[in-house]
Amino acid sequence: MSFKKLFIFLIFLCVAGASFGQSSAELKRRKEALTREIEALKKSQSKIASTKKLSLRQINVLNTQIRLREEKINTINSEVKLLNNQISESTNTVRSLQAQLNKLKKEYAGMVLFAFRNQGAYNKLMFIFASDNFNQAYKRLKYLQQFGDYRKKQAKYIQQTQKELGAKIVELDQNKKQKNTLLHSQENEKVTLGKEKSNQSVQLNKLTKQEKQLKQQVSKKQKEVEQLNRTINAAINREIAEAKRRAEAAAKAAAAKSGTIAKPVSGGSSVLALTPEAAKLSADFLGNRGRLPWPVTQGLIVARFGTNKYGNVTIDNNGVDIKTVEGSAVKAIFSGDVSKVFNLNGQYNIIIRHGEYFTVYSNMRSVSVSQGDKVSVKQTIGSVITDPVDGTTQLHLEIWKGSTPTNPETWLAN
């Protein structure tokens, strides 16, 4: 293998190692974050388990704890797969470097033997003077010089390859030890997951046996959801109607000025983004999908968008429920205008408009904004309420595009 090929090969190893290190670091960070979230849920569960009343929110916490535990096990699986690939690559690299080292040593031994046999100055001069012409003599002189330089380089290649080989062997041993540690951790997590699922089953059985209580909770929850949806839809429809009215007035004024007939204005939610300011706000909101800040400093989604099952019972969710710490401040996830502030069942709710989009914040103890106010991103707009019965502190967040709810998880930053 030439020096150029060897250099490219070593560079490839460095790049591959850096890529592995980055992926491994990301997995470790995710695993550590999951561990923190699981521990926080366990503390919360211990606290609310002391209450006599079993609620759907408590079941949500249990379900989330299991989901996070399963995600942690999957993360460990990914780490193991990554290490398996790295171990395989390192093993192949060690073999390749060993073969390269043997070849370099053999070539170097041949050069040393040749140099020993032709080390005398007389032999070198005879080699040059035996040339047929001046050009050949010059080439032979350059050859002797290049041969000496090449021998030095070969010695350097050997040292460099030996060093790289030693480093790869150490890395291979470390990866094997790390893999064994991960496999042991994975087994522990599986045992814990089994216990958590058993506890979940026990709690669900309790909830199922309390059929009357369960039906009351579900009925109450569904009524609250329906009431919230009606209020949100009414607020959005009012915004659409007002935007349409303004657009029609502007179109009539422009038509009267130009002596033409005003064009009809669409009655859909797109009318909310007709003005340059609203269009920019809509575009900016959409452009930040997946990067919007969380509405609370410490939060974990315990009830997801869509249908959530509780044994044989299902409840539809137009947003997400975010578990947080007691007394948490709620912050706007994007700049916009406060469309509505209202109270339902003793809890405050806020709707903020962002052009064609709306964010809804529910289960709030207090609010610090009023209808018509302009808010900036991360501005505090109130605080989350703690349920006096089951002790849970959860913010409900919804994101609507016009009159259609969307999944907030796809909008919030990971």
Which pLDDT value is given to residue 18?
A: 44
Residue 36: both structure tokens together: 């923190």
CATH 2.70.70.10 placement within the chain: 214-410
Do the strands 374-375 and 404-406 form a parallel or antiparallel pair, or are they unpaired?
A: unpaired
Q: How far is CA 43 from CA 9, 46, 65, 143, in A?
A: 51, 5, 11, 77
Dist. CA 71–CA 35, nearest whole Å: 10
Dist. CA 137–CA 132, nearest whole Å: 8
Condensed to tens digits (0 to 9), the pLDDT of residues 114-170 reads: 555 555 444 555 555 466 676 766 565 565 555 555 556 656 666 676 677 667 677
Dist. CA 295–CA 278, nearest whole Å: 22
Residue 61: both structure tokens together: 């916490």
Tell me the pLDDT band of 369, cut-offs 50, 70 and 90.
Answer: very high
Instruction: Please report, in angstroms and rounded to a whole number, the separation of the first and last CA atoms in the chain.
Output: 46
Q: Average pLDDT of 170-191? A: 79
Condensed to tens digits (0 to 9), the pLDDT of residues 251-302 reads: 888 777 877 877 777 777 888 888 889 999 999 999 999 999 999 998 989 8
What length is written for the chain?
Answer: 414
Which pLDDT value is given to residue 316?
A: 83
Which pLDDT value is given to residue 198?
A: 78
Do the strands 300-303 and 320-323 form a parallel or antiparallel pair, or are they unpaired?
A: antiparallel
Which pLDDT value is given to residue 116?
A: 54
Three-point CA angle 75, 22, 37, nearest 5°: 40
Q: By the 8 A CB rule, do 67 and 323 touch?
A: no
Which pLDDT value is given to residue 6?
A: 45
Is the pLDDT at 310 greater than 70, yes or no?
Answer: no
Dist. CA 102–CA 123, nearest whole Å: 30
Q: Average pLDDT of 54-83? A: 78
Which pLDDT value is given to residue 15?
A: 43
Tell me which of 17-26, 58-67, 99-108, 275-284 is least confident.
17-26
Question: Thinking of the domain 214-410, which architecture would CATH place it in?
Answer: Distorted Sandwich (2.70)
Residue 384: both structure tokens together: 């989350």
Long-range interactions of 249-254: CB distance < 8 A, separation 24+:
none
Q: By the 8 A CB rule, do 111 and 154 touch?
A: yes
Dist. CA 207–CA 53, nearest whole Å: 10
Which residue has better confidence, 391 or 327? 327
Tell me the pLDDT band of 171, cut-offs 50, 70 and 90.
Answer: confident
CB atoms within 10 A of CB 81: 11
Which pLDDT value is given to residue 16?
A: 44
